[in-house]
A = this chain, B = another copy of it.
Amino acid sequence: MLPFVNNTGLYTDHYELTMAQGYFLSGRHEKKACFDYFFRKAPFGGSFVVFAGLSSVLQMIENFSYTKNDCNYLESVGFDSRFVEYLQSFSFRGNIHSVKEGELIFPNEPALRVEGSILETQLVETLVLNMLNFESLIATKACRIRQAAGNEVLLEFGLRRAQGLGGINASRAAIIGGFDKTSNVFSARHFGLESSGTMAHSWIQSFSDELEAFRAYANHFPDSCTLLVDTYNTLKSGVPNAITIARELREKGHQLVGIRLDSGDLTYLSKKARAMLDEAGFQEVKIVASNQLDETIIQSLRSEGAPIDVFGVGTSIATGQDDAALDGVYKLSFYDGKPSIKVSENLSKMTLPGIKTIDRFVDGENRFCADGISLGHETGYNEIFHPTEAGKRKNVTSCHKENLIHQVMRDGNCIEKEQAPGDIAAFTKSRLQQLPEEHKRFLNPHVYKVGISKELLETRNDLAKQYLKKDSF
């Protein structure tokens, strides 16, 4: 469970409040609206996103309210006193439908929709974007690193390089995307993750020599001892001393768990260290590697045959480096009984109007073929259309259709049972197995087909015509 969720009403952009005041003062604030969350471009040059952050969003929205002090503050910075009085008893009373947390989603899919009064659906925009964009970014990064690491163990230890308190949700999202454990004790406690960690260089430095430092640690943790071997000289000091300790532990009926390499060339050092450990009869001692790792470096280490059993990843998993943000947006699709659209100079940036749902078409071998976006009431459509390239269409009759959207909040109450991140991770893993390989390639992956129903296409085109009818090129 996310900490710090009480009275989240100020966790918003100033203009949401300005618009809310405008809606309120003009008596339009109870008009019904629907907003869609979607992104336009998958990060890291990939084709998909692992949808994460849903649980955090729901908790923060359930607690989206204003204290008396918050209200006094808002009045002091110029908000209208009638509006501020209204906010004092405000809570979110709308409905939210969403794909499951951990689902694989693709560009332009309305993965989550928020329905309610225009005022309440507007006010939560920033919060929805902030949490979904970030956790989805990190879960996606984690998923890529997991692809590179195969079945080896992945540890997240990026809190020291995380973007401030952003590290809290980063650790959760890393687990969803496929990491095994985190170093972040705070997140482990609040989200029910497994944390781990052994020693830093400072432990070694605080003893007069490395062997003494290793021995002291092994005495305290005889069954969970991983020794950091690069403080002085990895192959001439660290590994030989670790082997000495491994012998001492074995004599006492314990077992050295591993050694950790944190600098130098990890392929060279891991091969040499593996040979030394094996030679000394310690085939079971694992090699942990860390130092600026990401999916590309891990892929390279493994392709060179580096015998690394555990990868510790910091900056890249905590921040998503090289992409620091997912470009998710929150757009009005329905207002006061009518579908709504935002046109754009660029057809591909035009939004999809109406209250929509997503179907996934799955082939006879249980693999994902394409997704279809349709208006909620459509059921039997068996053709999907390219949203912008006129004429392109795909018949999906031969596929099994699976609806991806379900209700997660009703009248402001979360009706989604909170899932453990580990369970979400298992779901993500199973979905990845259903996604054909060509969409998972790191470099230039094949674009996954996302089409729209004929009725949605026509609704969108009819609305667009109203705005683009004259002289718009």
Interface presence of A392 (CB below 8 A): no
Inter-chain contact A206/B14, CB cutoff 8 Å: no
Which residue of chain B has its CB nearest to the CB of A23? B206
Interface presence of A31 (CB below 8 A): yes
Which residue of chain B has its CB nearest to the CB of A219? B26
Would you give the 0/1 interface string for A12-28, flagging 1 where the beta carbon is closer than 8 Å to chain B? 11111111011101101
Inter-chain contact A13/B324, CB cutoff 8 Å: no
Kindly identify which residue among B118, B125, B160, B344 contacts A133, using a CB–CB cutoff of 8 Å: B160
- A19 → chain B closest CB, angstroms: 5
Inter-chain contact B12/A199, CB cutoff 8 Å: no
Interface presence of A11 (CB below 8 A): yes
A206 and B345 contact, Cβ closer than 8 Å, known pairs A15-B199, A22-B220, A216-B26: no
Kindly identify which residue among B198, B232, B467 contacts A15, using a CB–CB cutoff of 8 Å: B198
A467 and B13 contact, Cβ closer than 8 Å, known pairs A126-B159, A206-B33: no
Interface presence of A35 (CB below 8 A): yes
Stretch of A272-280, A315-323, A454-462 that contacts chain B:
A315-323
Inter-chain contact B162/A163, CB cutoff 8 Å: yes
Q: How far is the CA of A460 from the CA of B200 in the complex (A)?
A: 21
Interface presence of A170 (CB below 8 A): yes
Which residue of chain B has its CB nearest to the CB of A190? B10
Would you give the 0/1 interface string for A52-75, flagging 1 where the beta carbon is closer than 8 Å to chain B? 000010000000000000100110
List residues of chain B with CB within 8 A of the CB of A219. 26
Inter-chain contact A467/B134, CB cutoff 8 Å: no
- A199 → chain B closest CB, angstroms: 6
A321 and B332 contact, Cβ closer than 8 Å, known pairs A22-B220, A232-B343: no
- The listed residue with most B CB atoms (<10 A of its CB), out of A56, A315, A342, is A342
Inter-chain contact A166/B162, CB cutoff 8 Å: yes
Interface presence of A404 (CB below 8 A): no
Kindly identify which residue among B169, B183, B322 contacts A165, using a CB–CB cutoff of 8 Å: B169
Q: How far is the CA of A371 from the CA of B273 in the complex (A)?
A: 41
Q: How many residues of A contact B (CB 8 A)?
A: 107
Interface presence of A382 (CB below 8 A): no
Interface residues of A in 128-181 (CB under 8 A from B): 129-131, 133-135, 137, 157, 159-170
- A445 → chain B closest CB, angstroms: 22
Kindly identify which residue among B21, B189, B315 contacts A325, using a CB–CB cutoff of 8 Å: B315
A332 and B205 contact, Cβ closer than 8 Å, known pairs A160-B125, A186-B10: yes
Would you give the 0/1 interface string for A206-244, flagging 1 where the beta carbon is closer than 8 Å to chain B? 100000000011011100100000011100100000000
Which residue of chain B has its CB nearest to the CB of A338? B208
Inter-chain contact A233/B472, CB cutoff 8 Å: yes
Interface presence of A257 (CB below 8 A): no
**What are 29 of the A-B contact pairs (CB < 8 Å)?**
A12-B159, A13-B159, A14-B182, A14-B184, A18-B199, A22-B216, A22-B220, A23-B206, A25-B220, A26-B219, A28-B206, A118-B202, A125-B160, A126-B159, A126-B160, A133-B160, A133-B161, A134-B164, A160-B330, A163-B320, A164-B170, A165-B168, A201-B331, A205-B340, A205-B342, A236-B472, A318-B325, A322-B324, A324-B324
List 4 additional A-B contacts (Cβ < 8 Å) besides A18-B197, A18-B198, A133-B161.
Answer: A10-B189, A206-B332, A233-B467, A263-B345
